[in-house]
A and B are shown apart, each in its own frame.
Chain A
Amino acid sequence: MGTLTIGCFPGLVGNMSYDFALKLAEAAVNKGHKVNIWLSGNATGSVKAHQKHLKDYSTGEKYLKALLEKGVEICTCEACTVARGIQKTEGIEKLQWNAMHWYLAKIHGSDRVLQIGGE
């Protein structure tokens, strides 16, 4: 089994790229691979807890929590997140907060890296 690191940059709402990144992570972890997800840019808006899942909109919290339970390491870019007015105390539990070097360190130990670009 390999290690996959996904850099996820798109916003939660407005496109399906974010949804795809999480679905891909789920498929990989279900196959037994180690998966890391780095959230940066607009994707960091998805780490806020207590999201209301309206069916017209993509949602992050439910799927992020499920991935965390499966052992996926998920980390948000702290600078990108606080720039959007989200504090760590408001974030989803067990989700990590760190700087960009977290992503590079995970890349270092990865067999494959997928950069899902954002806006």
Chain B
Amino acid sequence: MGDVKLAYIVQKPQYKGETSRLAITHAIAYQTVEILLEDGDTVTPTLCFVGEGVLGLQKGQKAMDLYGITSTESHIKNSLLVDLDVLVCKEDLAKYGIPEDAMPDADDMGADKKIKVAPFSEIQKAMEDAKHVLFF
């Protein structure tokens, strides 16, 4: 069957509920799915943040210090470290007044990938290219 492309569309703010966090961890799980698949089969998620889903992504989070839980920032950094494509909607960032340079990176961890602040048309293309679209 080969590769199956998935689009994870996160529409809810981080920390408001659990599912916006679970979208990220479920996407990262693509790293280990091959142990359950036939040789040559893969799953490739693209993680997309749109609407209120762009809230709570900024760098400098202190969730571990204040609440003893991993931050969304750390999950995003792990996503980049495992080479996930992470798209954040450019128009929605602008709507909420969040500067693009507030998005975290994982340079300190040695990641090659970076968050891509992308126009919605690009996120729509990711949805069109995916076999399955999952809304979180």
Contacts and interface: CB of A to CB of B under 8 A. Distances in A.
A100 B48 CA distance: 18
Interface stretch (B36-44, B71-79, B82-90, B118-126): B36-44
Interface in B6-65: 6, 17-19, 22, 25-26, 28-30, 32-33, 35-37, 41, 43, 45
Interface string A99-119: 111111101111011010111
B132 interface: yes
A110 B19 contact: no
A41 B18 contact: yes
Nearest to B41: A108
Tell me the interface secondary structure of chain B in the complex.
Answer: mixed
Given A113-B134, A115-B135, A117-B136, A105 B33 contact: yes
Interface of A: 7, 9, 40-42, 80, 99-105, 107-110, 112-113, 115, 117-119
20 contacts: A7-B134, A9-B19, A42-B18, A99-B29, A101-B30, A101-B33, A101-B36, A102-B36, A103-B26, A103-B29, A104-B6, A104-B29, A104-B33, A109-B1, A110-B132, A112-B132, A113-B132, A115-B135, A117-B19, A118-B17
